[in-house]
Amino acid sequence: MAFRESLAAPVTAADPPSAEPPSAPSHLDAEGRARMVDVGDKAVTRREAVAEAWVRFPAAVFARVLAGDLPKGGLVETARLAGVQAAKRTAELVPLCHLLPLDAVDVEVAPDPDGAPRLRVRCTARATARTGVEMEALVGASLAALTLYDMTKALDHGIVVEGVRLVRKSGGKSGTWRAQ
């Protein structure tokens, strides 16, 4: 199967932004020491976060990616699985993250709709929990993008992973937030 056939539908314009004032750092105590936030009194709610990362390729490499002409084979499925696995292990990778019982993780890989030689990785994480899943979505998108790099670096080391960011989150006391 050609690579393009295994991709998600092309991405669309960004979600409308939201304006939310920043709050004080919650992972620092009164003396400025790192601490894990106590979420025991927070309400259990449905939480969802969407994060993305972009992988930019030299034009000749991108043509081979789209054609499925790669030395390591199944690019998209390997990246998707790496993203899901990484999201599930976020608490092991990010020191102060809570271990969350994830309800679902979905990773999509799609070409840039503007025709630029790059792929967008989008990771959606969901949980019914006392704290958000932003880090799980960010770690999932990041690791899927790094896997795309790893599987294509033999073709050119000029591949760039960029633009890792939270796109949207919902649930919890602060409600819905969208990137600008």
The residue from 103, 106, 112, 150 that is catalytic is 150
C-beta contacts of 38-46 below 8 A and 24+ residues apart? 39/98, 39/130, 39/131, 40/130, 42/130, 42/131, 42/172, 42/173, 43/130, 43/172, 43/173, 44/128, 44/129, 44/130, 45/128, 45/129, 45/171, 45/172, 46/126, 46/127, 46/128, 46/170, 46/171
In the residue annotation, 150 being an active-site residue is answered as yes
Are 175 and 114 a contacting pair, CB within 8 Å? no
| Residues catalogued as catalytic | 150
